[in-house]
């Protein structure tokens, strides 16, 4: 399976797990707690598979950048946690950094 497809699935699993942390309320709520544990287990397993074909630095840059953006968007919707201007600027810089790696770095595999 394509490394970048696996990376996308790993990011989705990680975002589900991270977004469920608050709802798990210190692992006192069963369903969100299961989502946290299963999501992270799935995410790290998939990330391990990704590392077979995608360079570690590139995979981690995409993983962390996409995770930050997606978790922020989900937190805005689910928890009404709206980032301020500085946080938005930081997120834009993270996206720009991942784009630079993907578009211009020889280590990206393209």
Identify the H or E element spanning 38: helix 30-50
Name the pTM for this structure. 0.87
Report the number of distinct structural domains present in the chain: 1
Distance CA 10, CA 43 (A): 4
In this structure, what are the phi and psi dihedrals at residue 48, rounded to the nearest 5 degrees? -60, -40
Q: For the chain, what is the mean pLDDT?
A: 92
Which domain does 42 fall in, by range? 3-108
What's the pLDDT at 66? 93
Q: How many CB atoms lie within 10 A of CB 67?
A: 19
Contact 68, 91 (CB under 8 A): yes
Q: Give the single-character DSSP code of 61.
A: H
Task: Please state, for a pLDDT cut of 90, what percent of the chain lies above it.
Answer: 80
What's the pLDDT at 106? 78
Residue identified by tokens 């946080």 is 87
Q: Is the pLDDT of residue 47 over 60?
A: yes
Contact 14, 40 (CB under 8 A): yes
Tell me the pLDDT tens digit for each residue of 73-107.
999 999 999 999 999 999 999 999 888 888 888 77
């Amino acid at each position: 399976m394509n490394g970048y497809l696996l990376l996308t699935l790993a990011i989705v699993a990680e975002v589900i797990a991270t977004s469920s942390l608050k709802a798990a309320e210190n692992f006192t709520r069963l369903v969100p707690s299961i989502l946290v544990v299963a999501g992270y287990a799935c995410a790290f397993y998939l990330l391990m598979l990704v590392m077979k074909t995608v360079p570690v630095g590139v995979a981690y840059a995409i993983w962390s950048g996409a995770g930050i953006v997606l978790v922020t968007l989900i937190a805005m919707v689910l928890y009404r946690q709206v980032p301020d201007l500085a946080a938005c600027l930081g997120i834009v810089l993270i996206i720009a950094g991942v784009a630079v790696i993907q578009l211009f770095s020889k280590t990206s595999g393209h």
